[in-house]
Amino acid sequence: MHKHLLALAALSLALPSAANAQRYDARYGLEPGAHDEIAWDFLEGITTEIGPRLAGTPDEARARAWAMDWLRARGFDNVVNEPFPIQTWVRGEERARITAPFPQDMVLTALGFSGATPAEGLSAEIVHFPSVAELRAAPDGSLTGKIVYIGHAMRATQDGSHYGYFGSPRRQGPGVAAQKGAAGIIVRSIGTSNDRIAHTGATSWPEGVTPIPAAALSSPDADQLERILERADEPVTVDLLLTPQFLGETMSGNVTAEIVGSDPSLPPVLLACHLDSWDNAPGALDDGAGCAIAATAALRVAEQGQPLRTIRVLFAGAEETGLWGSSAYSAAHADEEMGVGLESDFGAGIIWRLETNFSRSNPGLFQRLANAVAGYGVLPAPQIRATGGADLNIMRDQGGPIVDLQQDGTGYFDIHHTPNDTLDKVDPEELAQNVAVWTAVAGVLANEAGDIAGPGIIAGE
C-alpha cells in the first residue's frame, strides 16, 4: 500500500513535465522544433554578413544594401531606399577607475550622444542620487566639477514596462546633470542583467545644453559603487575617459519593399522594424529579429495567393539614435494614407497578446484577428489600446489603425543594447511562432476590403 502510494507520487511528479511539453505545443500551435527557414536566413545573414550597423555609418549603409539584395532575391517588388540626413555620433575609448578610497576598475559604456572627457581623462568626485527627481532637487551650482551617479530599480517584466518607467536616468539624467553644472554622469545600466556588461542607449540634451561625458555602468559595478559610497568616510573619486565623437550630418535611409496587392486603390498594410543596431553587437534581437519577422510574414501571406491590399515592409533607419527614420518616413508619406501599421521591435519572445486601436470602432475585424491567432496561444485584449512602436510615427501622425502583437519580453532587457545581443540569443521556435502569428494577422488585414478602422472613430484620436 505504502509502496503503491510512493509509486503514485513518483508518477505524479513525472507527469507535469510531459503535460507541460504538450501544453507548450498546443499553446503555441507549433510542432516541436518548428523553424522558419526564411526568417532565420534573414537573421543569420544580417547578423553574420553585416554585424553591428550603427545609424549614419558605412556599416548601416552596408546593411541597407544587403537588405535590399535580400528583399529582391526573395521576390519583393518596389525595393527602394529613401535617404534622409541625421546627426551621427560614434563611440571612442571608454574606461573608468575608482581612485579613492578603494581603487579599482569599473565596467561602463558611453551613452549615445555622450560628450567626451579631455583626452587625458577626467578626475572627479562622485555624487550619488537615487533618482532623477532627487538630482533635479540639488541646488544649482552644487555639482560643479563633480560626476553624478544615478541608480534605479528596474526589474524584468513580461511586457517590458519597467524600461519606460525606470529609463529616466539614461534619458533625462544627463541633461539635468549638465544643466546643474556637473562635469559628467554615470548611470546604472537601464537593463536587467547581472552580467558584468553595460547597456548603452541614447540620451538627449535639452536645447542649448552642451553634452557632458555620460556613461552606463554594468549592474554589478553599480552595486559595487553603491557599497563603496556607503562605506567610504571620504569623497569617492573616479578617473573617467570617454572619447566619443560627433560627426555632424551623415545619411541614413529607410528601405521599403512591397508585395503588390490586387487592388492598388486600397491603402497598404505597413509592417515595420528598424534595420540599424547599436555598435556593440550585431543586433540579433534588436532589431534583426523584428525585420526577419515582418519581411517573412509578408512573404508567407504571398505564398497563400496575391493579397487584396499591398503589403509594404519598412526597414527604418536610425531608430536607435533618435527615431530619425520613423520621423522621415512619416514626413515623406504624410499624404499617402496607410491602411494599418504593425511593428516588431522587442526581440523574438513568444507573442502572447493581441491589441489594436480599433477594437471598438471595428469589433468584427478585431474578432476575426483574435480567431486567427487563438491557436498560437495569443490572448485578445480588446480593452487595451494599441499605440504602435517607435517606427510607426506615420500611423500615429495619421491617426490610423494600429495592431500591437505583444511579445514576452521577460528576458529582453538582459540582452538589450549590450554586446550579448547575438544570434544565439534567438530561439528558432519562438521566432517561428512570431512569424506564424504575424502571417495570420497580416493575412487577415491584407485581404480586408473594408476600412480597417471600421465605421466608428478610432478612440482617442
Q: Name the site residues for Zn ion (rule: CB under 5 A).
A: 286-287, 320, 345
d(CA 95, CA 119): 12
Measured from the CB of residue 272, what is the shortest distance to Zn ion in angstroms? 11
- What letter does residue 390 receive in the DSSP assignment? G
Closest to Zn ion by CB, 345 or 404:
345
**One-letter amino acid of 305:** G
Closest to Zn ion by CB, 167 or 375:
167
Cell of 412: 529582453
Cβ–Cβ < 8 Å for 177, 185: yes
Measured from the CB of residue 249, what is the shortest distance to Zn ion in angstroms? 22
Count of CB atoms situated within 10 Å of the CB of 77: 11
DSSP bridge pairs for 81: 255
Closest to Zn ion by CB, 320 or 355:
320
Compute CA distances 457 → 71, 363, 460, whole Å: 36, 12, 9
Mapping DSSP to helix (H, G, I), strand (E, B) and coil, where does residue 89 land?
A: strand
Measured from the CB of residue 284, what is the shortest distance to Zn ion in angstroms? 12
Closest to Zn ion by CB, 182 or 273:
273
Measured from the CB of residue 412, what is the shortest distance to Zn ion in angstroms? 10
Compute CA distances 141 → 144, 145, 177, 181, 201, whole Å: 6, 9, 11, 6, 28
Closest to Zn ion by CB, 219 or 280:
280
Closest to Zn ion by CB, 273 or 394:
273
Cβ–Cβ < 8 Å for 52, 278: yes
Give DSSP secondary structure letters for 181-208: T-SEEEEE-SS---SS-----B----TT
Give DSSP secondary structure letters for 208-263: TPPP--EEEE-HHHHHHHHHHHHH-SS--EEEEEE--EEEEEEEEEEEEEEE--S-
Measured from the CB of residue 103, what is the shortest distance to Zn ion in angstroms? 34
Measured from the CB of residue 290, what is the shortest distance to Zn ion in angstroms? 7
**One-letter amino acid of 96:** A
Closest to Zn ion by CB, 190 or 437:
190
Measured from the CB of residue 389, what is the shortest distance to Zn ion in angstroms? 8
Measured from the CB of residue 36, what is the shortest distance to Zn ion in angstroms? 20
**One-letter amino acid of 278:** W
d(CA 98, CA 225): 9
Closest to Zn ion by CB, 60 or 320:
320
Give DSSP secondary structure letters for 334-373: TTS--SEEEE--BTBPPEEEEEES-TTT-HHHHHHHHHHH
Closest to Zn ion by CB, 345 or 430:
345
Measured from the CB of residue 78, what is the shortest distance to Zn ion in angstroms? 25
